[in-house]
Amino acid sequence: MSKLGQIIGQALLFALGAIIFAMTLIYGYSAISKLTQVKSEVCLIDMQKTLKNQVERVRASFGTVRRMDLTICAGHTEICFIDRDRVLEGQSGPCQGERINKLAQRSSLMKDAVCSGSDQNVFLKPASATPITIGTITVDHPDGFLCFEDIEASTISLRLEGKGDHTQIGTWKIIE
């Protein structure tokens, strides 16, 4: 009878060990998931602050041109900068016109933000949870928006030019 008691005891011990192992595995997975999410949020906040600080620093110095290497957070494949005034310039009706149509083809989210009067002037794909506003900017592109594609976890080079009351953003061109 004592051997039967040992077998039952070992089976219960094994079951208890399996339950503890499973619970540890589930807790570990949830903790790592939360840590990854927090890391992503911190990266976005850091990117926004860095970009906003550089834009503000260059804005006041008329004629100053600086190169800014901006690291894009992992998980984002596109970043767009929008000059709201230029996009809305020459409309044929409320939120209608060639530039608005081009913007709508690019992203309905960007079009809706511009048409609603939002101050947001930086958009990520996939969209970030919080709107990104970096101050008064113009964009060195005839359509009024400048997008960088296929940039996941990489660095883009921006050309920032101070205009006194705003900063003009463009692509840093390498002359060979």
Express each pLDDT in 90-148 by its tens digit: 776 677 778 888 888 888 888 888 888 888 999 998 888 788 889 889 998 888 889 98
Provide the edge-to-edge strand list for the sheet that holds 155-162: 65-71, 155-162, 167-171, 137-139
Taking residues 163-170, report their average pLDDT.
91
| Residue 72, in any domain of the structure | yes
Percentage of the chain exceeding pLDDT 70: 93
Q: Is 176 a domain residue?
A: no
At 162, the pLDDT band (50, 70, 90 cuts) reads very high
| pLDDT for residue 55 is more than 60 | yes
Output phi, psi for 84, to 5 deg.
-55, -45
Q: Is 61 helix (H, G, I), strand (E, B) or coil?
A: coil
Assigned domain for 27 exists: yes
In-domain check, residue 36: yes
**Considering the domain boundaries, does residue 104 fall inside one?**
yes
Residues forming beta bridges with residue 138, ordered by sequence position:
168
Which one is predicted more confidently, 76 or 37? 76
74 domain-assigned: yes
Provide mean pLDDT across the span 74-79: 87
Long-range contacts of residues 113-117, Cβ cutoff 8 Å, at least 24 apart: 113/82, 114/82, 114/84, 114/87, 114/88
Question: Which residue segment(s) compose the domain that 114 sits in?
Answer: 2-171
pLDDT at 174: 62
The reported pLDDT for the residue numbered 153 is 64
Q: What is the DSSP letter of 74?
A: T
pLDDT tens for residues 13-46? 888 888 999 999 998 888 888 887 777 888 888 8
Residue 35 has what pLDDT? 81
The total number of structural domains in the chain stands at 1
Residue 8: its pLDDT value, please? 76
How does residue 10 score in pLDDT terms, banded at 50, 70 and 90? confident
Higher pLDDT: 75 or 159? It is 159
Mean pLDDT of 160-174: 88
Which alpha helices (H) appear in 71-171, and where do they start and end? 84-88, 98-106, 108-115
Is residue 145, in this structure, part of any structural domain at all? yes
